[in-house]
């Protein structure tokens, strides 16, 4: 019989600069609706960072779990920085390259977790943004991830309202993003 390790939090949020910038506000918003959250955001973080593991979310997830921190639910806010690597991979099939990258993250978290993923929006990589989010939707449909916050659709047509640049949010953007993330997570168990 396999004994499941104790979970120390109800949700772990693993993200990039979008998460890091508002980690305190996100923590408060999650607590307001009853979630106990462990939040780890880092500037320039991608799912897998080939030249520096400091920026690798796979390495961060493994380190978090090795430290004894875990949760039944993981909220993943990653992919914006991965678009650069996918665009420059020289891959014939960008869909397959995207799927392989996302599955690296799913493997690091583990199959016995509920995973909600916040979709990407990067106006500098518009086509790849759609590919990335389409792959996330396919993973929801197949049951590999539990849910997906469609930030691309929610922010469409608001590039000047919600974004400080092509990818990072403005203060106004965060007033929409944080509630969308919390709603996408759903109620705590």
pLDDT digits (tens, 9 = 90+) for 78-116: 999 999 999 999 999 999 999 999 999 999 999 899 999
pLDDT digits (tens, 9 = 90+) for 51-74: 899 999 999 999 999 999 999 999
In the sheet that holds 37-41, the strands lie side by side as 37-41, 9-15, 71-77, 114-118, 147-149
Which residue, among 66, 11, 58, has the nearest Cα to 181 in the 3D structure? Answer: 11
Taking the model in full, what pTM does it have? 0.94
C-alpha angle 149/152/154, rounded to 5°?
70
pLDDT digits (tens, 9 = 90+) for 35-56: 999 999 999 999 998 789 999 9
d(CA 57, CA 49): 8
**Distance from chain centroid for Cα 144:** 14
d(CA 180, CA 11): 16
pLDDT digits (tens, 9 = 90+) for 153-173: 999 999 999 999 989 999 999
Mean of pLDDT over the chain: 94
d(CA 154, CA 184): 12
Q: Check residue 48 and give its pLDDT.
A: 93
Q: Check residue 2 and give its pLDDT.
A: 39
DSSP state of 72: E
Q: Check residue 6 and give its pLDDT.
A: 52
d(CA 126, CA 157): 13
Residue 8 confidence class, pLDDT cut points 50, 70, 90 = low
């Amino acid at each position: 019989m396999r004994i499941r390790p104790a979970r120390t939090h109800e949700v772990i949020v693993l993200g990039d600069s979008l998460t890091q910038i508002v980690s305190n506000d996100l923590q408060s918003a999650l607590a307001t609706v009853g979630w106990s959250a462990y939040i780890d955001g880092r500037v320039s973080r991608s799912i897998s960072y080939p030249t520096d593991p400091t920026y690798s979310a796979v390495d961060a997830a493994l380190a978090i779990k090795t430290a004894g921190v875990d949760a039944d639910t993981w909220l993943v806010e990653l992919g914006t920085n991965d678009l650069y690597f996918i665009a420059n991979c020289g891959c014939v099939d960008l869909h397959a390259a995207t799927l392989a990258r996302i599955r690296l993250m799913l493997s690091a978290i583990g199959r016995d977790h509920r995973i909600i993923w916040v979709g990407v929006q990067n106006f500098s990589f518009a086509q790849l943004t759609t590919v990335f989010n389409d792959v996330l939707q396919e993973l929801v449909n197949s049951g590999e991830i539990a849910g997906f916050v469609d930030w691309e659709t929610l922010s469409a047509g608001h590039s000047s309202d919600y974004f400080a640049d092509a990818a990072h949010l403005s203060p106004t953007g965060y007033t929409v993003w944080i509630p969308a993330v919390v709603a996408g997570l759903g109620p705590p168990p």
